Amino acid sequence: MELRQNTSLKNYTTLGIGGSALYLIEVSSVDQMKEAIFFAKEKSLPYLVLGKGSNTLFHDRGYLGVVILNKITTIKWNRNFVTAGAGYSFSLLGVQSAKKALSGLEFASGIPASVGGAVFMNAGANGQETFDSLVSVGFLNDSLDYKEVKKEEIDYGYRYSSFQETKGAIVSATFCLKEEERARNRQLEIIEYRKNTQPYDKKSAGCVFRNPSEKSAGALIDSLGLKGVEIGGACVSMKHANFLINNNQASAEDFLALIKKIKQLVHQRAGVELEVEIRQIPFEG
């Protein structure tokens, strides 16, 4: 394992915001994950497992604990089943499965998450969600016991899985896909659409707000003319209003202030209470 102290977290999230972690450990196997969690517990420190950091906002002071960078990137294909390490790129998995004419993960293409992060959040887009094709999850609990958890044993819903309330680490996931010749074409259509409608070239954490029942959060924010609104270095994307971007060395404080302003304006003008989707990591865990 690679252990680093007082490491800036800006380079480990897609948003590029955050102070330093007291400890950062990079792991590439289940055994190393066990060692990293044991290290945190031995020092009586909180720990956080991080994939690609695409849905994460760290505090400006950083994280007073152990950030475990999940780099478990194993991959195994068995006909229409695939088992991927939790650190494997979810986007790459979407591309590779589509190239094999396997359908179910086309929507993953372009989502800047790890497999573990996608399972954790039940990531979704284009009418599909991670749990639609999920079979089971390899999970290492806080007592360092490994278990293969079946989908039926997991509570999940819109941008939610019960892993969000369970200490431990997702280390792998198995998916069952369907043979379909059009999978590759559909995947290419999805990625082209995203390039045209989302700020791929900017630092962002993905969609900031969950979609309310009334209309999509992006359409709602856009309808109020909030595209381009800035606080400090944080800005509402001109391309997609549910993306807030790090425009100029934004701080977490800038980002949270902009979130608060959008929530207030949407509530005042549209009567809708927006719910934040991204994970906000406190300094003391």
CA distances 181 to 101, 102, 103, 110, 192, Å, are 5, 8, 8, 20, 19
> How far is Cα 251 from Cα 278, in angstroms, rounded to an integer?
15
Q: Is 2 in the active site?
A: no
Contacts (Cβ under 8 Å, ≥6 apart) of 93: 75, 82, 84, 105, 108, 115
> Annotated catalytic residue: which of 129, 159, 184, 235?
159
102: tokens are 């396997």
State how beta strands 56-58 and 279-281 pair: parallel
Other CB atoms within 10 A of residue 183 CB: 22
Contacts (Cβ under 8 Å, ≥6 apart) of 99: 184
Q: Strand, helix or coil at 249?
A: coil
Q: Is 269 in the active site?
A: no
Chain centroid to Cα 80, Å, comes to: 25
Q: Is 277 in the active site?
A: yes
20: tokens are 């330093």
> Annotated catalytic residue: which of 26, 129, 184, 207?
207
DSSP 47-106: EEEESS-TTEEEBTTEEEEEEEEE----EEEETTEEEEETTSBHHHHHHHHHHTTEES-G
Active-site residue set? 159, 207, 277
